[in-house]
Every structure is written in C-alpha cells, then in structure tokens.
Amino acid sequence: MFASKTALAKWKETEAALCFSSGYAAALGTIPALVEKNDVIILDKLCHASLIDGAKLSGATLRVFPHNHLGKLKSHLEWARQKNSAACILIVTESVFSMDGDRAPLPEIVKLKKDFGAQLFLDEAHAVGVIGRNGRGLAFEENLSQEVHVQMGTLSKALGVSGGYICGLRNMTEWLINRARSFIFSTAPPPALAAAAKAAVDFLSSDEGEKRRQRLWRNIDILAEELSIEPASAIVPWIIGDEKATLVAAQNLQDNGFLVPAIRYPTVAKGTARLRITLSAAHEATQLRSLAGVIKRLPKRD
C-alpha cells in the first residue's frame, strides 16, 4: 500500500497518509488515538455515524453543536477551554454533508479553532473528486489545508475502489500506526486494490481528471437550472417530508427509468424524508433534463 499512500499524500499536499480497510475504520481508529478521557470532542450534529462512533469510543467528553451553527460551536469551545485549559479540543466536521450536500463554513471554523487552540478533524469523503482543483477537497479549495490537522477520506465514492485514508503530518500518521487499533488489527488491503486506488488518484491528479471534474460541475449546473436550486456539491436532496410520499416518489422515478433512493428516518430526522440525487460526470444533459421533468411533476413538497 506504500505507493498509494505516497500518491495520496502528494495529491492532498500533506506530509503523509495512512490507508485503512474502510472509511469507518479510519474514523474509528483515528479519533480514539488522538484524544482520551480528559479531552473534549466538539462534533457537528450531522456528522457521519463513523465519526460519532469514533468520538464515543475515545472516552473524551463529547459536545454536539447544531449543524453548521458557529455560535454554538464557539460557546462549546469557550466551555471546553474553561473546563480544562490543558485539554486537547478536537473539532470534528465534514466538508460536504452526505444527506444535504451542503458545505461546512470552513474558514469560520478554522478561525474559531485558532482562537481557542483547538485541533480540526475534517472528513472530506463527499468533497474528494468534486471540490477543489483535481478534486483535492474543500480544504484545498479554501486554501486551508495547512490548518486542518486531520484530513479523512474514502477510496470509494469518487475514486471508485474501497478503503479509507487519513492525511496529515508524518508524526501523526506514525502515531496512528502504533495506536489506531482498527489499523493495527486489520488485514492489509490486497495489492490489486492498492494499485487501483493509486491509479484513481493519479487520474484525478491529471489534466484529464480535472476535465472530468469540470464536466461533473457542468452537469450540476444543468440540474440546478432545471430545478431552480443552488447545490453546493454533487449531492442534491429533494426534500419531501412524509416518508410514504417519498417512497412513492422514488418508485415513480424508477418507473420512469431513474434510480433515486428514498432517504428516511433514522438516516435523516423524522419529517425530512427526501430523494437523494447523486450526479456524476457520466450523465448526459438530456438525462438530467428528463430527470428534472419527472421531479417537477411529483406532488408538491411539504
């Protein structure tokens, strides 16, 4: 896996990278290795289950702030620093949120992190391949990579393989090699998977990879225009609200040749059931316009 780790670090412009068997394993192993009982984790309410589970497993005090609510994040940081001036405070958030497709206000979070001497763990799983030149993610696009202590991602989704990774300082990844239990006690990925992951990273790093990313954004813009929305990523939620109505809508779309999953409780909060549209560079403009046409004929949303 050495070649793929080197390629990841170069692509993400960090000192080092470490690969795990899955994104879930990356979160579950890394967070408990970085914080302990007397530390504090402050986590966005809509973070992925793997981040929540890793935070709980760490034994650190866990505080949750409402989604992207900077005021509440600041008050949690003030509380944590007053509680223990020497504690490690770890802010955990995603760059692109998986069910809403919106972005974290990264510049503002970084400012708060610096004001209170905290560290930042950023899950870039849904930004990689989509945001930033050559799909390097939101931290790169905002020119804040050096302010993020831990960049997590997945080798699935845009990269099309499987596995997870952590990027950051070399001493941090060396620490994880010796302390992250999901890394130490898991079987290494097979050579074929490592080679495929490296090929995917190399492609994204190329001019052709950047052209494909730009083609994806043209598709996002087409759907945005058709539905009069302003998506922030390749994930477009069409919130209906009622769960049964959402299931009916998903079946309606499938009957018209479109596979758009119905997302409902407990994946999202009650009353916020939705169709989750995920775009790719492979979609044709005619397909996107046809999809939008079917969606606009659905019953009005709550």
Q: Catalytic residue positions?
A: 98, 126, 157
The distance of Cα 67 from the centroid of its chain, to the nearest Å, equals: 14
What is the C-alpha separation between 192 and 198, in angstroms, rounded? Answer: 10
**How many angstroms separate the Cα of 35 from the Cα of each of 66, 90, 182, 219?**
22, 8, 15, 41
Tally Cβ neighbours within 10 Å of residue 272: 19
DSSP string, 124-176: -TTTTTTSSGGG--HHHHTT-GGG-SEEEEESSGGG-S--EEEEE-HHHHHHH
Tell me if 48 sits within 8 A of 41, measured CB to CB. no
What is the C-alpha separation between 2 and 4, in angstroms, rounded? Answer: 6
Residue whose structure tokens are 């408990």:
32
Q: What separation, in Å, do the N-terminal and C-terminal C-alpha atoms of the chain show?
A: 48
Contacts of 246 (CB under 8 A, 6+ apart): 240, 262, 263, 264, 273, 274, 275
What is the C-alpha separation between 124 and 165, in angstroms, rounded? Answer: 10
Residue 206 per-residue DSSP state: S
